[in-house]
Structure 1
Amino acid sequence: MFLPALLLIHLSNFIYFSTASPVDEVPRNPVADALRATPTARIDAGVIIGTTTTVQGATAAVNQFLGIPYASAPTGTARFSPPRPPAAWNATLDTKKSKSSCIQVFREYLEEIFGGPKETESEDCLYLNVFSPRKEWNVAKPSLPILYWLHPGGSTFGNIAQPMYDGSHFAALEDVIIVTVQYRLDVFGFPQSPDISNLTERNLGLLDQRAGLDWIHRNIKNFGGDASRITVFGASFGGASTDALVASYPADSEPPFHAAILMSGGYAWFAYQQCNDSDYTPWTTFANALNCTSLECVKGKSAADIKAVRRNQPFFFGPACDNITYVQDPRLRKQAGNFARVPVMLGSSTGDGSYFIAVVGADVDAYFTTFFPGLTGLKTRAMAAYPIGSGGRVDNFTQLSEIHTDWNFRCPSFFNAQDSAKFVPTYRYLYNATFPNTRQTNPNITAIWPLKYQGAWHTSELADVFSTFAAAYPSVDAPPEEKALSDIVRGAWAAFAKDPEKAPVEGWARVGGVDTDVLSFGTDGESGVGTVKDLIGKCNIWKDFLEANHL
């Protein structure tokens, strides 16, 4: 049954899609009723139409609006320009399918690890997806909290079409709205060109993320969301982007979000974040490969030519320290309390470093020469603190994996949490679960990363957060233990979004000087949950290095 379009538009200003009549005498099935109508919403640029799906165990269906433009296409003369609002449309816009990914480098990583998707890439990629519970609500007083997802990928790859980031289960089972956003990547998102004198305009990917936040504030009421209850959450570079948002808003400001979740990624305390925005060697090398000497020349090249050049270049295009979207001194700001005063939840995984060792190799001397050149004293202290034969370290691979996990992820999270906890409610977690379906069995991967080394690898918790293990890992069924843990993890993230002042899990203490203030998801490597002692001693080994190599 389809209601007339004008009536739907009128109703959307008051109650979002009630298909039951107030004079009905027969009890109605809300899920069945929801499926009788196609979800439509009016946003500031026009009317959109989506789809509805059901989730086992949920009391409400879920409306999916996929591929909503939150900015105009950054193509042609708009390449390397800040995001601009999309042009309004008159006809109803179909938002039933995710749009193209942003152009990226190392896309093969996604396809190897997660099996796709193999959708097209395009510069026209500034879209977001909205997953909202299908239920009655008063548009004058929307109440649902929103979780705004910033995907991982090191600022070089990633997209929201990954089956792992389908927000349907999360939205339906926890009564929240999930918004996932695409942002420009690599040189398209972070063009560190000397011809761009305004450093903020070199951080287009971060500006895209902020434009998505602004879209939520303008439009989320039309999906039942309360714009005063936005939690930004992200993993890896998405976590760093989230932390960059937290650090960039002064303590006396009103940030456009009310809480933040940092998952195996952060900005404050993360090593090698020195600001050197006048080193144009990567850009010059890139432009020369295109036979260009100016930004205008690069603008005139095809996206395919740019991607082809970038595939063969080893250097990195990331954010510039403009002190607006990406501040120069996040650690010092945190310690001084000059950051967004919002509750924070942050954590890491026990095997965050394992894949990186698979890539760089397990030669101890080569590893320390690469990451800590000249720091022989640090090497000596580290080798003494992480001896083979104890703590599960059986060889150089497991030894270096733990070392890389600690200085790159777990200890920055520890110090970041200690700084934040002095000013805002802060909760810290550790993900320590491993399940058969998350093992990477592709021969191309196991050749360098054998199954025995994988463990709770970097971002492996995402399928449990979104409860998308069936879609993310379709070849092996999720065991009951993972489903049980997913209910706890997803519930914790949702509870924090709903009320970040309260403990997301009963018994989870705020960070604040107690050495057992870390909640472990998977204390037994599976579904157990409990508190664990922190790594204060080991993290102190890395403290001086992290401080010296951040600014």
Structure 2
Amino acid sequence: MRHLAAMKYQTPGAHAMSDRRNPNPEPADWPEQRDLYTDDIQCEYVPRYSQWNILFCIGLTHVLGQRPSELRIQTSSGAVHGIYNDTATTVRGFLGIPYAEPPIDKLRFAPPRGKSPSSSPIDASSFSNPCPQTSSWSNESILNVLPYTLWNSAAISEDCLYLNVWAPAAKHREADRKAAVMVFIHGGDFGFGGTSIAYYDGVNIVRDNKDIIVVTINYRLNVFGFPNAPGLEPSKRNLGLQDQRLAIEWIYDNISQFGGDPERIILFGQSVGAASAAMYSYAVREFHIPSLNSLFQLEEAYLINCIQYPNNPLIKGIVMQSGTYTTGPISRHENNWNRLSNDVGCGSAVDSMSCMLELPMSKIVDTMATGNYTFLPTDDGLTFFTDFPARAREGKIADLPTLAGFNEKELAFIYPLHASSINESEVREDSQTEFNCPILEDLQLRLDNGIPTWRYLYQGNFPNLSPKPWLGAYHTSEIPLVFGTYNVSTPYSQPATKAEIETNAWVAFAKDPRHGLSKYGWPQFSSQSQYIFFPMLSGLFTFESSINPGLM
């Protein structure tokens, strides 16, 4: 059995790191092969991805010398100034919006705090720096060859709690209708990843559909997001999950300013992003009531119960792509705090926290780069539990319509690209055990609670995404189809047509989580075993309406 921790990646050597956000690095700081420039007055080059150079076309911004009013948005974080994110000026991009105070200095291992309003306009024209991390993939990994990696990985910073919003411009939306909102949580084993990845670009979903907004969020990772230090109080263990919740609260409070409907927000995540969405269904908020010796306090306790997360999730549905709370990495409860703390010279005693707070970020990250450290969510009684099934049977789960599935050959991507073949039976068996079976268990618990669910099996095998025939539908390979970013230029680029690739099902779910997929022709998951192939997708997805015992 292979666990995701065993996916062969190499840690880099020295990192060029920053403790402050640098949204517009000088050319000397850019990764290699960033050699595309333009003299077009209507286009400004903003370095977003390595190797795959993208132009931000901001149209009237240059022509008029100031941003149009629809690019200037007032939020709880302050005034935000965005850009037109496509040549037709149909999509507005607001990139790098802070949703929390920078978790630096004494806030390093503290729960996130909402961002206080900025006194000056926030330039939302480029991505923020990624959160501290060390992982990089081997040159023999498909995840390194294709744009699944961060373009600005050398600019990591603790000041990383930012989000990005892609929203339709006035010419691309119905004046009297608020747009549905799709919030994406990235994967990465809770140790690496971020929003500045080419395949996570939200432009195409917004451009190719009416009345839809896409949001992607950064959250703290590895030891910075999941410290689990000795003696650490539960409310400070899973900071990365708390970051996600705060980002969702920010979106709920502010998305109407961008033309979005706060009552039509869904989460969609991949791998541990999917696991995060699953865990979000169960999370609770911590409140402190000293005693219940008065009627007023009893009423207060009742009100508090009504705003627990399962009763007030703020979102209306979740999509789990290749993950749930028991998927591969989540089932490993490893704690490397003591080892890391010792290795950086802080010892392993209870007071090691104070020492770790004083260290430069670079010291911690460089030390992590030399060893195999894993930091994951642990049971805090708030965001992560060891008894998810029991809680579901007690009804302690949010009533959120759910779309979930996995890829036929999830673990094919751990093989090096020079391989002429792989152990097909092992890959399929491990994909079933690591992904399909946990997802089936999760969906059955939701079904038992009367929650509408849908299920898929992705089987796509495109040469530009799977250049080796044996790769097939590997882990992450569905992402470019969901985002519509399959045409991003890569060494394996081939022409693709809109007829081949569809994001419509995800959008239909976002617009109406309870009925959208049924109207789209996708039957709900049920207790009877059957397979249904959806013709619009030419067999790329197998839409499953039930549990198939044979897959277990």
Indicate the TM-score class for this superposition, using the shorter chain for normalisation. 0.7 to 0.9
Distance 1:400 1:520, change over 3 A: farther
Are the counterparts in 1 of residues 99 and 114 from structure 2 also a CA contact under 8 Å? Answer: yes
| Within-5 A mapping of 1:400-439 | 400-422=426-448, 423-439=450-466
SS in 1 for 2:508: helix
SS in 1 for 2:109: coil
Say whether residues 1:499 and 2:512 are aligned partners. yes
> What's the counterpart of residue 537 of structure 1?
549
SS in 2 for 1:260: strand
SS in 1 for 2:517: coil
Single out whichever of 65-74 and 497-506 deviates more from structure 2. 497-506
Single out whichever of 292-301 and 399-408 deviates more from structure 2. 292-301
SS in 1 for 2:207: helix
Instruction: Give the letter for the 1:122 counterpart.
Output: S
> What's the counterpart of residue 298 of structure 1?
356
Instruction: Give the letter for the 1:144 counterpart.
Output: A
Are the counterparts in 1 of residues 401 and 513 from structure 2 also a CA contact under 8 Å? Answer: yes
> What's the counterpart of residue 216 of structure 2?
180
SS in 2 for 1:122: coil
Are the counterparts in 1 of residues 190 and 221 from structure 2 also a CA contact under 8 Å? Answer: yes
Deviation track 1:137-171 (CA, whole Å, cap 9, x = no partner) reads: 99998621111110011101111010111111111
Deviation track 1:293-335 (CA, whole Å, cap 9, x = no partner) reads: 2111111111111111111222310011112111221122334
> What's the counterpart of residue 83 of structure 2?
51
Deviation track 1:60-97 (CA, whole Å, cap 9, x = no partner) reads: 70110000000111111211111112232222221100
Instruction: Give the letter for the 1:329 counterpart.
Output: D
Say whether residues 1:397 and 2:423 are aligned partners. yes
> For 1:40 and 1:395, how far apart are their aligned partners in 2?
53
**TM-score, structure 2 as length reference:** 0.75
Are the counterparts in 1 of residues 487 and 495 from structure 2 also a CA contact under 8 Å? Answer: no
Are the counterparts in 2 of residues 521 and 529 from structure 1 also a CA contact under 8 Å? Answer: no
> For 1:118 and 1:111, how far apart are their aligned partners in 2?
14
> What's the counterpart of residue 71 of structure 1?
100
SS in 1 for 2:84: strand
> For 1:138 and 1:534, how far apart are their aligned partners in 2?
36
Say whether residues 1:469 and 2:491 are aligned partners. no
| Within-5 A mapping of 1:99-248 | 99-108=128-137, 111-114=144-147, 116-119=150-153, 120-135=155-170, 143-174=178-209, 175-196=211-232, 198-248=233-283
Deviation track 1:454-496 (CA, whole Å, cap 9, x = no partner) reads: 111101110011111222x433334436x3242x3x1110100
Distance 1:523 1:532, change over 3 A: farther
Say whether residues 1:86 and 2:115 are aligned partners. yes
> For 1:317 and 1:437, how far apart are their aligned partners in 2?
34
SS in 2 for 1:96: coil
Distance 1:462 1:253, change over 3 A: same
SS in 2 for 1:131: strand
SS in 2 for 1:480: coil
Are the counterparts in 1 of residues 237 and 377 from structure 2 also a CA contact under 8 Å? Answer: yes
Indicate the percent of aligned positions where both proteins have the same amino acid: 29
Distance 1:314 1:222, change over 3 A: same
Say whether residues 1:484 and 2:499 are aligned partners. yes
Distance 1:523 1:494, change over 3 A: closer
For the aligned residues, what is the CA RMSD?
3.1
> For 2:215 and 2:517, how far apart are their aligned partners in 1?
21
Say whether residues 1:515 and 2:550 are aligned partners. no
Are the counterparts in 1 of residues 205 and 214 from structure 2 also a CA contact under 8 Å? Answer: yes
> What's the counterpart of residue 270 of structure 1?
327
> For 2:444 and 2:377, how far apart are their aligned partners in 1?
25
> What's the counterpart of residue 348 of structure 1?
406
Distance 1:353 1:420, change over 3 A: same
Query: How far did residue 522 of structure 1 move?
Result: 9.5
SS in 2 for 1:399: helix
Are the counterparts in 1 of residues 280 and 383 from structure 2 also a CA contact under 8 Å? Answer: yes
SS in 1 for 2:410: coil
Query: How far did residue 535 of structure 1 move?
Result: 6.8
Instruction: Give the letter for the 2:337 counterpart.
Output: W
Size of the aligned set, in residue pairs, is 453
SS in 2 for 1:324: coil
Are the counterparts in 2 of residues 246 and 339 from structure 1 also a CA contact under 8 Å? Answer: yes
Distance 1:32 1:396, change over 3 A: closer
Distance 1:318 1:181, change over 3 A: same
> For 2:226 and 2:145, how far apart are their aligned partners in 1?
25
Unmatched tracts of structure 1, length 5 or more: 1-30, 363-393, 441-450, 541-551
> What's the counterpart of residue 286 of structure 1?
340
Deviation track 1:43-72 (CA, whole Å, cap 9, x = no partner) reads: 11211111013377xxx7011000000011
> What's the counterpart of residue 38 of structure 2?
none
Instruction: Give the letter for the 1:406 counterpart.
Output: Q
Query: How far did residue 516 of structure 1 move?
Result: 2.2
Deviation track 1:361-405 (CA, whole Å, cap 9, x = no partner) reads: x9xxxxxxxxxxxxxxxxxxxxxxxxxxxxxxx987111101110
Deviation track 1:483-528 (CA, whole Å, cap 9, x = no partner) reads: 3242x3x11101001111125263311011232256569986xx65
Distance 1:139 1:40, change over 3 A: farther
**362, 376, 395: which one aligns with 1:318:** 376
Distance 1:184 1:112, change over 3 A: farther
> For 1:521 and 1:96, how far apart are their aligned partners in 2?
40
Instruction: Give the letter for the 2:499 counterpart.
Output: A
Are the counterparts in 2 of residues 149 and 178 from structure 1 also a CA contact under 8 Å? Answer: yes
> What's the counterpart of residue 389 of structure 1?
none
> For 1:240 and 1:209, how far apart are their aligned partners in 2?
12
Instruction: Give the letter for the 1:117 counterpart.
Output: W
Query: How far did residue 248 of structure 1 move?
Result: 2.4
Distance 1:256 1:520, change over 3 A: same
Unmatched tracts of structure 2, length 5 or more: 1-57, 285-307
